[in-house]
């Protein structure tokens, strides 16, 4: 059994408050055409393989965690061999680990004909992290709370991205524990309105990430990447999630290709592609 595990870009990230020790968000998240491949089959024992040496192949891996949760909740006695072919870089804010976990949750749901409701799937996914519930569905959405409140969005723009990940990442857990800069942000409504009304300028002018300023202070290279993408003519230039990927948008595929070809050899990871609908 195999499945594509799609990455995501965060068009708007707003940390609203900390409640019971957990950050609560109001985000706009979009699936993109970058994906890992996840292969799953029954096995006499639990085996987890990846094609990247830096990834853990034990209980620290989100895929291992998701399998253990599903086995316990739904009395699944089988063990599994899982192979993950990674295309989504780690610590990038693109949701790679979350996407892999979501793919396995969906595969086990199908393999055992569990017929879980959307809420039951979310209840499993939110035990992994705040992005895994979104990755279950891979559709544009407003995501609130601890990632478990999902409102699917209907939009009809053709949007292309160019993304750059410098050669360093951010430890999400350590960063989130320290974050305290809560405020009201009316720009969320404007970004949302632009997206659903197909007003590219309104949407891109109000894209935002609450974490970007704090992370950029510690990593000046992020500012340089953002400035470069803006100078090349991309709009809505923003950091995705809590990672270090900086991306920008255009409505013109040829423009995305031009920028990609110009900068592809300047950074460890550069990609262009299309926002999924």
Residues tagged active-site: 8, 131
* DSSP designation for 272: E
15 is in an annotated binding site: no
240 is in an annotated binding site: no
* CA neighbor of 92 nearest in space, from 12, 168, 11: 168
- 193 in Cβ contact with 202 (< 8 Å): yes
90 is in an annotated binding site: yes
96 is in an annotated binding site: yes
Q: How far apart are CA 149 and CA 87, in angstroms?
A: 28
Token reading at 108: 């086990």
Number of H helices, E strands in the chain: 10, 12
5 is in an annotated binding site: no
List C-alpha distances in Å: 116 to 40, 134, 222.
Answer: 19, 16, 41
273 is in an annotated binding site: no
97 is in an annotated binding site: yes
Q: How far apart are CA 191 and CA 39, in angstroms?
A: 37
89 is in an annotated binding site: yes
77 is in an annotated binding site: no
Query: Which residues, in sequence order, are bridge partners of residue 151?
Result: 142
Annotated binding site for ATP: 89-99
Binding residues: 89-99
């Amino acid at each position: 059994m195999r499945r594509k595990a799609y990455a995501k870009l965060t068009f708007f990230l707003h940390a609203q408050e900390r409640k019971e020790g957990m950050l609560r968000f109001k985000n706009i998240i979009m699936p993109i055409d970058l994906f890992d491949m996840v292969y799953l089959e029954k096995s006499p024992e639990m085996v987890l393989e990846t094609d990247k040496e830096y990834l853990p192949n034990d209980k620290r891996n989100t895929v291992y965690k998701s399998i253990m949760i599903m086995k316990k909740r739904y009395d699944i006695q089988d063990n599994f061999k899982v192979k993950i072919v990674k295309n989504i870089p780690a610590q990038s804010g693109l949701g790679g680990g979350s996407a892999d976990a979501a793919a396995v949750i969906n595969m086990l749901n199908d393999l055992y004909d569990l017929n879980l409701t959307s809420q039951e799937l979310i209840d499993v996914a939110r035990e992994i992290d705040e992005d895994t519930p979104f990755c279950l569905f891979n559709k544009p959405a407003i995501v609130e709370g601890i990632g478990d409140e999902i409102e699917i969005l209907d939009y009809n723009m053709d949007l292309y991205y160019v993304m750059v990940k410098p050669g360093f990442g951010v430890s999400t857990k350590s960063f989130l524990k320290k974050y305290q800069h809560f405020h009201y942000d009316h720009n969320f409504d404007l970004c949302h309105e632009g997206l659903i009304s197909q007003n590219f300028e309104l949407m891109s002018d109000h894209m935002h990430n609450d974490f970007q300023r704090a992370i950029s202070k510690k990593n000046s290279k992020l500012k340089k990447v953002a400035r470069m993408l803006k100078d090349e003519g991309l709009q809505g230039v923003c950091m995705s999630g809590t990672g270090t990927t900086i991306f920008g948008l255009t409505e013109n595929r040829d423009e995305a290709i031009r920028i990609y070809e110009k900068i592809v050899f300047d950074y460890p990871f550069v990609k262009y592609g299309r926002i999924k609908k």
